[in-house]
Amino acid sequence: MPDKIFVAMKVPQEADNGQRQLATIITQSILGAGHEPFIAYQEIQRLGDLSPQEFMPFVRQAIHACQLALILYNPSLRGGLIEAGLAYADRIPIWVIHSASEKVSSSLLGCAERVLVYRRPADLQEQLTCALESLSQPEKPLLNQKDQP
C-alpha cells in the first residue's frame, strides 16, 4: 500500500509560476515513487470557503492519516509551520525542503528527519525522487546482527 504524503507549502498566487512549478514537481515525484500526495492547499481549496475553525480539524485529520510530511519552506509560510508541529506531535517523519538562499528556523530544522536544499527546481526534483525511492527500499539487515529471541 503506498504511503500518503502530506505536503505543506505556500499557496501559489496568480502570477507565482515558480511556486506552481514546485507544487507540480513535488506531486509528480510523489506519484512517480508510487505514493499518494496530499497537497494541503489544493485540498482546502477543493473544499471551498471554509473558516479556519473548519479547515484546521480537516488538516489535523489529514496529517494523522499520512506517513510523511513534506514542508516546502517559504519565508511567508505560516500555516505550514503549524502543520509541521502537528506532524511532529504525531511522530510523523518531517522532511523540510527549502531553497539554498533561504534561512530556515532552527526549530523547524530540529523537527526534520531529512532536509532537502535546492538551488533550482531541477535540483529539487532529482533530490526528492532519490529520497522518495529510498522509502520504497526494504531495510537491509545489519551485518553481525544477532537474532532476537
Specify the pLDDT at position 139: 53
- Could you state, in order of their start, the residue ranges of all structural domains in the chain? 4-134
Domain 4-134 in CATH 3.30.70.2190? The answer is: no
In the numeric block, which cell numbers belong to residue 110?
A: 530540529
DSSP 97-132: EEETT----HHHHHH-SEEEEESSHHHHHHHHHHHH
Specify the pLDDT at position 138: 59
Is the model's pLDDT at 113 over the cut of 50? yes
In the numeric block, which cell numbers belong to residue 45?
A: 481549496
Specify the pLDDT at position 53: 87
Specify the pLDDT at position 81: 87
φ/ψ region of 123 (left if φ > 0, alpha if ψ in -120 to 50, else beta) reads alpha
Sign of the C-alpha dihedral computed for residues 118, 121, 126 and 131 taken in this order: positive
Residues 6+ apart with CB under 8 A from 140: none
φ/ψ region of 141 (left if φ > 0, alpha if ψ in -120 to 50, else beta) reads beta
pTM of the predicted model, to two decimals?
Answer: 0.85
Specify the pLDDT at position 146: 38
Phi then psi for residue 50, to 5 deg, are -105, 150
Q: Which of 40, 19, 33 lies closest to 121 in space, CA to CA?
A: 19
